[in-house]
Structure 1
Amino acid sequence: MLKDAIPLDQIRRALVIKLRHHGDVLLSSPVLSVLKSHAPHAEIDALVYAETAEMLSLHPALAQLHVIDRNWKKLGALQYLSAEWRLLKALRDRHYDLIVHLTDHPRGAWITYMCNARWAVTRRIGGRGRWWRKAFSHTYPTPANARRHTVEQHLDALRRIGIQPTPQERRLVLVPGHAAEARVTTLLTEAGLNGRPFIHIHPASRWFFKCWDSHRMAHLINRLQAGGHTVVLTAAPDTTERKMIDEIQSKTRTPAVSFAGQLSLKELAALTARARLFIGVDSAPMHIAAAMNTPVVALFGPSGDKEWGPWDGPLGSSHRIVTSLAHPCRPCGMDGCAGSKISDCLASLPLEPVWHAVQELLAQ
């Protein structure tokens, strides 16, 4: 037993801080669930960047969702400071007993310090100043000799304070909401797909060195369509991503249904929840598909699949990860080979192992 475990009956309010990208924030959702499960009397809040709020909003364990808008800096010095002060005041007025800081972001640590919670926990990081050490009552190490999934790394913060999550509690949670469900129903009905099975493909990532070759993706779509499957394509409302969709569509024998640039993150979740299968790369939409319990075929190149692969819990097997066996250098974590923005481990990844993974999941 931990000698410094936190008495859960003394936690009235807790704050979870996750200041990262969309997928990272979604992977923190089990922390909210576990906290609420083990301290059902407590109010659980979260602090995220405004653009990632949809990843946690409507979470059943969430009491309040606080946001940092990175556009505050464009308002001018006075308005920026005013916005920051309002946020800090709102957080301090909640009188948190526990703060869980899930990154090494100095801003989150500074907020923790200013909120003066009785207990605060974060990952153990060397080289930090005295104020950082004073901000946290508990720190936890990360394994130096093993690759650990990000979900489990997040939950290690709770293990450090005496909370042991069960396998069932470690699931991702994402709630699309009624408005998103209704919009997706309308789009599918207009496309003649409402109630019909389809395969959802999201080929792009905000980092294009994580993406597969458009030519091979088009060949995969051709095979799926030849087998009688309907394919639905999505992409972010980004010029480069939509250009990638156009390039893929130009290489297919029959254009796939495309909702590229038309969906919010909640709507993307509502769509992929209805798909028979999701195919994509290391990206937020891949994590969203896993959260919606849709089987996933994920193509990984330079990023670590052990840390960032589709998560369905420690006992799950409803996903397939496809990587190159000819590149012992992966996962290197680089933005393309030698920083070239092109990852050879993905550029040369053949169609057959991807097709095999798709067939495996379709057969289940």
Structure 2
Amino acid sequence: MALCFSPIGDTIFATPAIRALRYNLPQAKIVILANQSAVEVFKDNPYQIEVLACADQWDLLKKLVEIRKHSFDLAVGLSQIGGFFTRFCGTPFRSDFISIEGKEWSGSVVQLCLEVIAQVGLAVNTYDTEFWVTDLQQRKADCFLAEVTDKLRKPLVAIHCGGHYFARKRWPVLSFIRLIAAIFEETAYQVMLVGGKEDLESAALIKSVIPEVIDGTGRFSLGETAALLNRCRLLIANDSGPLHLGAAIGVPTIGLFGPTNPEQFFPYRHPLHRYIYKKISCSPCYRFRGGPWQYLPRCSKAYCMEAIKVEEVLCLVRDKALNGVNTLVEVTGDR
């Protein structure tokens, strides 16, 4: 039994641990109990792992009662909240974030999830994150792109300008507008916006200023969005679900970081992935182990994100092949 109640990005970080469970326990019945965003990540997994969705806290309690009837041998918590509920699964063995010594974790979240697996003596095979796109999802994405064929004479760059949780992790929309305008002016790329319904307002503002962008915001499921990203040469995004979705399917990425520490939240070793991080005096302020509800302190302004310059991002975009190692562009200074 695995419990995962996380946003999309953190859930994707748990996919190597889920793969390791199946690798170590090929004959076991494995069930993931998850919130809706985690279900969207796991539902098409190829490992014959059942996924149970929890609609709310009352549904969670009902499912925990049912789980206890099945006498599972092991419960692993792959999120902060999921770790709290492992103790209610009625299993003789459990492992979770809470049981790992220390209140702060300095490594990546991928490593933390794998440490949960290693704590119970299971081997860890690889660190690579995963996401699984179905043929139907890819066909729907390709049909959408076929509708805008006249705009696809250039290779695609995807941009995610929003983020469902923690608005202070977002680069200003005005900066995205300036970046997109420069991409059209200076490169051979066509720009496509991606994101969920919560990103519609930002996407509409960008579209009103630069009407030639392709807007796929709020129109597709998570799997269909991944299918769109499959057709892109590059993804530029804040530290958010779509950034980690793109990396999981192998799309080159440029991640924009401020409140969060890329050493924890950008675990990608492949040279295709780069990030920009302005470590000013108060960053990173996000505390992953700080509690299940409030991770970011109050802040009147996202100074760390506003410190990222359009030209810095554009320099990485110009490097079409993205050949080097993960690049840290860091400026230390006060507000």
Give the TM-score of the pair, scaled to structure 2: 0.85
Structure 1, unaligned stretches of length 5 or more?
1-14, 74-79, 125-138
Matches within 5 A, 1:160-309: 160-166=119-125, 169-192=126-149, 197-206=155-164, 207-226=166-185, 227-238=187-198, 241-252=199-210, 255-309=212-266
Q: CA deviation at 1:214?
A: 2.0
Preserved CA contact (<8 Å) 1:100 1:121: yes
Q: Which of 279-288 and 29-38 deviates more? A: 29-38
CA deviations 1:61-98 (Å, max 9, x no partner) are 2421112102xx7xxxxxx5xx4565234423432111
Q: Which whole-Å CA distance do the structure 1 matches of 2:322 and 2:272 have between them?
A: 11
Q: Which whole-Å CA distance do the structure 2 matches of 1:328 and 1:317 have between them?
A: 28
Q: In the alignment, is residue 94 of structure 1 matched against residue 70 of structure 2?
A: yes
| Alpha-carbon RMSD | 2.5
Q: Which whole-Å CA distance do the structure 1 matches of 2:261 and 2:101 have between them?
A: 19
Q: Which whole-Å CA distance do the structure 2 matches of 1:45 and 1:109 have between them?
A: 17
Q: CA deviation at 1:140?
A: 2.4
Using the aligned pairs only, state the percent identity: 21
Q: Which whole-Å CA distance do the structure 2 matches of 1:337 and 1:37 have between them?
A: 39
- SS at 1:140 equivalent: coil
Higher relative contact order (CA 8 A, sep 6+): 2
Q: Which whole-Å CA distance do the structure 1 matches of 2:50 and 2:222 have between them?
A: 20
Q: Which whole-Å CA distance do the structure 1 matches of 2:152 and 2:212 have between them?
A: 19
Change (3 A) 1:195 1:91: farther
- SS at 1:249 equivalent: helix
Q: In the alignment, is residue 357 of structure 1 matched against residue 316 of structure 2?
A: yes
Change (3 A) 1:363 1:32: closer
Change (3 A) 1:344 1:113: closer
**In structure 1, what is the equivalent of residue 90 of structure 2?**
116
CA deviations 1:239-277 (Å, max 9, x no partner) are xx222112223333x521111111111111111122110
Q: Which whole-Å CA distance do the structure 1 matches of 2:60 and 2:283 have between them?
A: 41
Q: Which whole-Å CA distance do the structure 2 matches of 1:251 and 1:150 have between them?
A: 37
The 4+ residue runs of structure 1 with deviation greater than 4 A are 83-86, 193-196, 334-338
Structure 2, unaligned stretches of length 5 or more?
288-294, 324-335
Answer with 1 or 2: which has the greater Rg. 1
Change (3 A) 1:214 1:178: same
